[in-house]
Amino acid sequence: MIEVQNLTKQYGAKKAVDSLTFTVNDGEILGFLGPNGAGKSTTMNMLTGYISSTSGKALINGVDILDDPINAKKNIGYLPEIPPLYLDMTVKDYLNFVYDLKKCKIPRKAHLEDVCGLVKITDVYERIIRNLSKGYKQRVGLAQALIGNPPILILDEPTVGLDPKQIIEIRTLIKKLGKKHTVILSSHILPEIQAVCDRVIIINKGKIAADDTTENLTKNITTDYRLIARIDGAREEVLKTIKGISGVISVSADMEREKGVYDYEIETKEDADIRRELFKRVAARNWIILGLKSSEMTLEDIFLKITMDDSFELKMKKSSGYKAETASADEEKSSAEENSGKTADENSKEAEE
């Protein structure tokens, strides 16, 4: 559990991070999203005790990182933006060094084998880090963070510079880790956050611009509600029928998809849900709905809106259901506990491989 209260970092007159307040619950995967220079890395460096905050507090499992750094740091595994690797060491020496540095109590050999199996670096275990590819270096960095099984993982742009296959592997791994650890992940890549995280904090210019689940973000922020229905039926008739449904503001058909099949873009009032009514009316005329989807804003749209437009930020803050979010995070936690036994088996199986 990480509690951050009014965390601020000031460099001269510039506030790199401006009174951030948020909580990360156990077993949650939190995404930090923001353009370059938004303060993501600075925040992470403060959480891990690498740099100190100008003001504010960061509690790691209830321990203040500035008051009792050693006990706070015991709970954290940190992968900085650039993996902190000693290039002249072998992977084996390096991981043993980190093991000693963190004063681990877990049996050494088995633990290192577990970690290497988990991040799939067993085949480069004896090699010198300098000669490894970027993807392997990143994974050794991740292994370093995992040593000692810290309950909290802080990963700063873990997939930067990797090829698509490696990115997917690392993402899968992070999701897996999220079942046993609390994870904070930063990225400026939106699909990544969407794929991995339960909750997103969007940071812009050192401030929190949004704090919500990925779903809620895409759902709540849509200012106008849009549906796209693909219907097999006479075009003009269909248009007329849809217009007749209450709550519909406008409807338009675009190009013919198949013979007699069009996509109809329907704009409705904000709280109107016309899907059932639409189905009934279309079915009554013996037309067929081939597809129906709400054209939500993608996270990308939201991100751009939030980071470009300051007025949007205020509206966002109001709509974010933070209280509801905490409850759902607890559910996640309990389900994570159920899964943890299974994942441990999986891990050891992989280690054997």
Partner 1 sequence: MGAIFRRELKAYFTSPIAYIFITVFYLYTATYFVNYNVYYGLTDMSYVFQCAFNILMILLPLLTMRLFTEEKRQKTDQCLLTAPVNLFSVVMGKFLAATCVFLCAIAVYAVYAVVLFGLSGYLAWATVIGNLAALVMLGASFIAIGLFVSAMTESQVVAAIISFIIIMFFFMIDMLSGIVQVEWLRTVMVSLGFYSRYAEFSTGLFSVPNIIFFVSIIFIFNFLTVRALEKRRWA
- Summarize as ranges the residues that interact with partner 1 (CB under 8 A): 11, 45, 48-52, 69-71, 73-74, 76, 78, 80, 82, 84-89, 93, 97-98, 100-103, 144
Minimum distance from residue 102 beta carbon to partner 1 (Å): 6
Which of 102/230 has CB closer to partner 1?
Answer: 102
Which of 78/264 has CB closer to partner 1?
Answer: 78
Which of 10/339 has CB closer to partner 1?
Answer: 10
Which of 52/131 has CB closer to partner 1?
Answer: 52
Phi-psi region of 30 (alpha: psi -120 to 50; beta: other; left: phi over 0): beta
Minimum distance from residue 318 beta carbon to partner 1 (Å): 36
**Cα(159)–Cα(136) distance, rounded to whole angstroms?**
11
Beta sheet of 55-60, edge-to-edge order:
14-24, 2-11, 55-60, 63-64
Q: With 0-12 CB in 10 A as exposed, 13-18 as middle and 19+ as buried, what is 103? A: exposed
| Alpha-carbon separation of residue 225 from 81, 229, 250, 265, 274 (angstroms) | 38, 13, 11, 11, 11
Minimum distance from residue 99 beta carbon to partner 1 (Å): 8
**Cα(91)–Cα(28) distance, rounded to whole angstroms?**
30
Q: Answer whether 339's CB lies under 8 Å from 179's CB.
A: yes
Which of 41/122 has CB closer to partner 1?
Answer: 41
Minimum distance from residue 350 beta carbon to partner 1 (Å): 25
Which of 37/291 has CB closer to partner 1?
Answer: 37
Give residue for tokens 């050999």.
109
H/E stretch holding 14 reads strand 14-24
Minimum distance from residue 49 beta carbon to partner 1 (Å): 6
Which of 353, 50, 34 is CA-nearest to residue 203?
34
Minimum distance from residue 117 beta carbon to partner 1 (Å): 22
